[in-house]
A and B are shown apart, each in its own frame.
Chain A
């Protein structure tokens, strides 16, 4: 039993950080599902939202700052829709993807220009000291960070809410129609521009939540933008179009990379967390190109 304690701790820690990846991946899935755009800028949006929140809450009450940040994210969604997506309607997916890389760079630069590029502390009032669980079962107990638990609860709520939204509301159905075919959706009377505005705003709010969770954990700084790169394999693993897939993919990758680091890491020099997720995702891609939960890609000529 002495061995099981640390392993369980690593496993739980992995699951929790997996939830955090999933929060970022969720934003990707939302936009991909509803507009067929693979939004590389999600990580930059996380950074931008977190930076705005931190700097605004320096001289405004926290609640007001949150509302104001949400307003900023909606404005941003509007700008992206208007200036980037609308001129590129009907273009090849790869072109849209590269355009979002452009948006990423712009947002990274813009956010740091107006909000500054230091490391800012974000305090949500969650106790920082870890909790110890099962102290009677294992010597020393299992260490769990309250921030991670908070993030997990938030992520769970978001997934349930978004799933219901996509499956049972009129807007949700319109979103799925747009994802299938821009032009066909437009021709049956779905207002493409409004739909995109809604979905990018939602993704912006998800980015804000992810930014709050990550920002409390790591401090708000430029490296937040890079977690998007960590979320990509989560996305591939779970499937690009599945909201629950994002969460399950996140859990698998989070736990997998921590366990791999724990068991295999010492053998080959450590730091395999850096690429483990990608190699896992690549292996899944070769067997199941659509990911674990994605819709099968059918190509018609």
Chain B
């Protein structure tokens, strides 16, 4: 009733190719953006910004990166954490060793370095696929963990191995309050989402999907697997690298190599599976879910009067994540994003089911 396309005619190619073709969708996205940019900063306190919103936005960016690779190109990666680490340490070293470069340029350069590493470790994907590729990307994860722990040049020979990010100075704008950090992350998240959405609607995104659905058939209709796979690895690790920079510089401030361990990679994989493989919206939904669930588990039992030990909460978290992964794979392989899609279909007919 409310959400209906009746009477909305698309009379030009530009209108037909718009991301949001329905007036309701356009209004919806404007409302969401207005809430995110203006509404939340008005009401949110420091805890909400620091503990929930900033990590959520950064993890959404990383999840978009992984989703491009796994959900659109069908190449599994268990090394997303490593790409984030590469980005973070690249930005740290650039800022440290070449202070004349503006920090924002550092961020992008760090993303490019992560993309380069992504291409190198994407090379095996040309010969191997599926499970074998998972192992190849695990190799990167372990190698990166080791390199950033043991090769002290990366950490500037600090005795503890943990490093501290320089102050966030974006072209003269000093980002230091939680609110400013939130806006910075939001800007990155919006830009990444727009970039990714347009990418997957373009020729290159379509070639990724063809490779995902059946690589041999894609090759026969003229898609070069090398270009498609390596570009997916490059773009995905660029975005993951950027997310790593944000995670390190904006969220953590000072960090050690363990911040980007295999746990991070698994967490991102879960976000993509639960949120929805092959959906940009799904990356956000998955990131929100995985960020909020532990906090929910920590606080709700206490509110109802059940005292759980910290160990118990972490075990519960493990069990719930595991169960959800299996349930989503069985019942809704396209994740939360698909549930939203079904909801929209229902809304078109509501309240007259004919």
Chain A residues at the B interface, C-beta cutoff of 8 Å: 38, 83-84, 87-88, 91, 93-95, 97-99, 101-110, 112-113, 117, 229, 232-233, 235-236, 240, 268-272, 274-275, 278-279, 281-282, 285-286, 289, 299, 301
Interface flag for B109 (CB, 8 Å): no
Q: Mark B179-200, 1 if CB is under 8 A from A, else 0.
A: 0000000000000000000000
Q: Are B319 and A110 in contact (CB under 8 A)?
A: yes
Q: Are B136 and A282 in contact (CB under 8 A)?
A: yes
Q: Are A84 and B326 in contact (CB under 8 A)?
A: yes
Complex Cα spacing A289 to B132, Å: 8
Q: Are A106 and B330 in contact (CB under 8 A)?
A: no
Q: Are A105 and B130 in contact (CB under 8 A)?
A: no
User: A residues within 8 A CB of B266?
Assistant: 101, 105
Partner of A275, one of B135, B146, B151, B314: B146
Minimum CB–CB distance from A131 to chain B (whole Å) comes to: 33
Minimum CB–CB distance from B230 to chain A (whole Å) comes to: 15
Q: Can you offer 25 A-B residue contacts whose CB atoms are under 8 A?
A: A88-B329, A93-B131, A98-B76, A99-B326, A102-B321, A102-B324, A106-B318, A106-B321, A106-B323, A108-B315, A109-B315, A110-B315, A112-B315, A113-B312, A113-B315, A113-B316, A232-B135, A268-B150, A271-B149, A271-B150, A274-B145, A274-B146, A282-B135, A286-B127, A289-B128
Complex Cα spacing A271 to B149, Å: 10
Known interface pairs A99-B325, A99-B326, A285-B127; A113-B138 also in contact (CB < 8 Å): no
Minimum CB–CB distance from A22 to chain B (whole Å) comes to: 16
Complex Cα spacing A90 to B150, Å: 44
Q: Are A107 and B322 in contact (CB under 8 A)?
A: yes
| CB-based nearest A residue for B143 | A275
Q: Are A38 and B333 in contact (CB under 8 A)?
A: no
Complex Cα spacing A94 to B75, Å: 9
| CB-based nearest A residue for B78 | A101
Interface flag for B256 (CB, 8 Å): no
| CB-based nearest A residue for B311 | A117
Chain B residues at the A interface, C-beta cutoff of 8 Å: 74, 76, 124, 127-128, 130-132, 134-136, 138-139, 142-143, 145-146, 149-152, 216-217, 262, 266, 269, 273, 311-312, 314-326, 329-330, 333
User: B residues within 8 A CB of A83?
Assistant: 326
Minimum CB–CB distance from B257 to chain A (whole Å) comes to: 11
For the A-B complex with A94-B74, A274-B142 known, give 10 more contacts whose Cβ atoms are closer than 8 Å: A105-B266, A108-B315, A108-B322, A109-B314, A109-B319, A110-B318, A229-B138, A268-B150, A281-B139, A282-B135
User: A residues within 8 A CB of B134?
Assistant: 97
Q: Are A97 and B131 in contact (CB under 8 A)?
A: yes
Q: Are A109 and B318 in contact (CB under 8 A)?
A: yes
User: B residues within 8 A CB of A105?
Assistant: 266, 318-319, 321-322, 325
Complex Cα spacing A89 to B330, Å: 10
Complex Cα spacing A39 to B228, Å: 29
Q: Are B146 and A102 in contact (CB under 8 A)?
A: no
Q: Are B142 and A108 in contact (CB under 8 A)?
A: no
User: B residues within 8 A CB of A95?
Assistant: 329, 333
Known interface pairs A102-B323, A102-B324, A271-B149; A109-B316 also in contact (CB < 8 Å): yes
| CB-based nearest B residue for A93 | B130
Minimum CB–CB distance from B241 to chain A (whole Å) comes to: 20
Partner of A109, one of B131, B135, B152, B322: B322
Minimum CB–CB distance from B26 to chain A (whole Å) comes to: 35
Partner of B329, one of A98, A109, A272: A98
Q: Are B132 and A236 in contact (CB under 8 A)?
A: yes
Q: Are B216 and A301 in contact (CB under 8 A)?
A: yes
Minimum CB–CB distance from A25 to chain B (whole Å) comes to: 12
User: B residues within 8 A CB of A229?
Assistant: 138, 142, 262
